[in-house]
Structure 1
Amino acid sequence: MNAALAALLMQAAAVQTAPPVDERALAKLVEDPAFSGDIQIADPEGGGWGYVGLLPQPYRGGDDGATWRWASVTKQVVAVLVMQEVAKGQIDLDRPIATYLPKFRSANAGTATVRQLLQHRSGLPNPDDSPKGPGGFPSYYQPGYTGSRDPLTGYCAGPVQGAAGGNWSYNNCDYLVLGALLEAVTGKSWATLVDERIAKPLEIDFLAAYPGEAFTRMGTIDGKPEPAIDLASYGAAAGLYGSIDALAKFDIALMEGRLIPPDALATLWQGDPALGYMALGQWVFEAPLKGCAKPVRIVERRGGVGGIEVRNFILPEIRRVVIAFSDRAPFAFGEVWQGAGFSHDLLSAAACGKGTKQ
């Protein structure tokens, strides 16, 4: 046996077949009256389970054709675009923002780095803190906003929250600025890059940035219709929409190394315990799941815009992705690491099916 063949066999042996899914436990979650939304479970080998809480019965084989706001899963996608440029040597994660955006007027432009933008450690302001508009929703995201949304000179260039490099503090300006940085480096908008580098190569039909979508799910907030939202205002922070199948395709391609090379993926998924396991644009951690013999490594990206919430999970060692959208906010997804709650039970059913020993 030659060395090349031996290496291939060893690689094949290391690839773990995805475990069975506890469909009874999944059905129980979907049938919970509190849940209204879509759940998708998929693996690279083509196996998949689709459950739609908005329809009378769960079904297999995909989603119902509707698109969802990907909300802050957009950040996960933008982080991949950034890492593509890092892999090419066009972006250095530890160079200041001003290196690439000399016209950025923020007081932190010369001190905050690209890595800190990705980790929410830049100290930039958060549009969530803009004055409240109708319904108590931040005015930045509502139609008729009178301020400037220019990422270089507008709201994001305003008074900072603090010095760069401290503990992470969630804010959308980090990724609005990253969108501008990508355009400065590549000469193309972040939305065009999503289309050219992700949607088209992966043959995804339903993935794009607002505006332009005629129909996506609407949501409720505390049981009431959500206020009017200018979805395009979320930009590179939360401005993508797409089908749940499209998100599964993205997750699988990322997991398989088809979007960025292995060293870039390792950097992207390096969760920092000191930052609550924040990696670059996502959280990466190990957590015990019910029915699994040992903790499972989880890549998580969560998001919410208005009445829509999403949880996107990639389980690299199990080679499976798990996605849940809800059209009721706030929905009690819970925290996986706490060992209970909807997300924990969903992942346990998806990763620790009966008779498996992971």
Structure 2
Amino acid sequence: MILAVATALSGGATAQPLAVGNEAKPLAALIRSGGPPLTGRVLVADRTKILSDERSGAYGDAPIWPWGSVSKQVAAVIVMSGVDRGELALDEPIARYWQAFPTPTIGGVTIRQLLRHTAGLANPEDTPQTDDIPAFYLRRAIDAERDDAVTFCAGPVKRPPETSFEYNNCDTIVLASVLGSTMGKGYEQLLADRVARPLGLQSLRLAKANERPIIANAKGQAVKPVNLATFGAAGALLGTPEDLVRFDQALLARSLVSSASTDVMWKGDPAIGYAALGAWSFSAPLAGCQGAVAMVERRGAVDGVQIRNIIAPDRGRILVVFSDDAEFDFGEIWQGRGPSYVLASEAFCR
């Protein structure tokens, strides 16, 4: 059963169910396509308010969700706020800023390379796995408090910087330590000062050791546990879906980061799969729109949860999806079919 919830961030308008064509809701359309239902939250917003808010499944009304790798998008905003203030430069080696920088092996890496995942650092995914979960994310609570930036992540590099793209949580874990050293505050304080407090985001914070908001999947089965705190700045953020919408609205308004820095942050590089800084930025055709639509996409997948955070800057629209089904196949927008394509088309083109 799908519940349409009347919600608005501002003003007197209420959110309405998002219609696919003239009759079906997005979640219902996906159910009728023959695949499994999409459970969780689907929100569509414009620059000022939520237009549609649909909830389904056991966690449809969950107040707090893990944001997964959307955490990296937030980290990129903190970086660009530092660029705007003249506190750092994207192409300077991190050894210039990082007082705790432990070894010369990574001192020449730049902040831009960390944001683009071309730094070549050691990767937590390479640690031994238990039930398909790398040991790095299964450490006990006391281990999660260690400064991974100067231990594992600063260990022997895998390859020289800029050799190739490799998705790597160590990039953002090191980045957070660099930011703390540069700006004279811990990362959690920077998160509050540069993002949460200016936007009034009451829910946004890093997960505490062994804290897990979602403990069962869409089928009611227990999710294999990880210690969310071990993801650090790379994936340990928690918050409400509404606060993620507010964050996206601030990006559209360019109120956290200048227009010039936003343009830099959202410039996708086709040579590395259109990766930008903390997100992916690309254009693709959508049903109902004339011509390709420019989109900024940030995905997340952690502890049994999938997240899709997509902004269409030119259309002033936002699509946020949280699902408690780690196996749900969203497909790819550029393929012109599948759930992501349907949702993006209805959110941005109808």
Output the amino acid matched with 1:136: D
**Aligned partner of 2:108 among 111, 116, 138:** 111
Whether the 8 Å CA contact 2:99–2:181 is kept in 1: the answer is no
Deviation by residue 1:243-285 (Cα, 9 ceiling, x = unmatched) = 1000000001011101011111011001111111111000000
| Cα distance change on mapping 1:329 and 1:221 into 2, 3 Å | farther
Equivalent position of 2:317 in the other structure? 320
1:173 aligns with 2:170: yes
Equivalent position of 1:163 in the other structure? 160
Equivalent position of 2:134 in the other structure? 138
Task: Tell me how far apart the structure 2 counterparts of residues 282 and 311 of structure 1 sit (CA, whole Å).
Answer: 11
Aligned residues: 327
Deviation by residue 1:118-169 (Cα, 9 ceiling, x = unmatched) = 0000000111221113x23111111438978523431101222211012211
Task: Tell me how far apart the structure 2 counterparts of residues 232 and 318 of structure 1 sit (CA, whole Å).
Answer: 36
1:49 aligns with 2:45: no
Task: Tell me how far apart the structure 2 counterparts of residues 348 and 197 of structure 1 sit (CA, whole Å).
Answer: 32
Tell me which moved more, 164-173 or 221-230. 221-230
Whether the 8 Å CA contact 2:116–2:277 is kept in 1: the answer is yes
Equivalent position of 1:76 in the other structure? 73
Equivalent position of 1:7 in the other structure? none
Equivalent position of 2:41 in the other structure? 38
Percent identical: 38
- Higher relative CO (Cα under 8 Å, sequence separation at least 6) belongs to 1
| Deviation (angstroms), 1:330 | 2.3
| Deviation (angstroms), 1:291 | 1.7
- TM-score in terms of structure 1 length: 0.85
Whether the 8 Å CA contact 2:98–2:182 is kept in 1: the answer is no
- TM-score in terms of structure 2 length: 0.87
Task: Tell me how far apart the structure 2 counterparts of residues 261 and 158 of structure 1 sit (CA, whole Å).
Answer: 35
Output the amino acid matched with 1:177: V
Whether the 8 Å CA contact 1:42–1:320 is kept in 2: the answer is yes
Whether the 8 Å CA contact 2:80–2:265 is kept in 1: the answer is yes
Task: Tell me how far apart the structure 2 counterparts of residues 346 and 314 of structure 1 sit (CA, whole Å).
Answer: 12
**The residue matched to 1:270 in structure 2 has which SS?**
coil
Q: Give structure 1 stretches of 5+ with no counterpart.
A: 1-19, 57-62, 354-358
Q: Give structure 2 stretches of 5+ with no counterpart.
A: 1-16
| Deviation (angstroms), 1:105 | 3.1
Output the amino acid matched with 1:307: G
| Cα distance change on mapping 1:21 and 1:222 into 2, 3 Å | closer
Output the amino acid matched with 1:68: W
Pairing 1:183-194 to 2, within 5 Å after superposition: 183-194=180-191
Task: Tell me how far apart the structure 2 counterparts of residues 205 and 192 of structure 1 sit (CA, whole Å).
Answer: 14
| Deviation (angstroms), 1:218 | 2.7
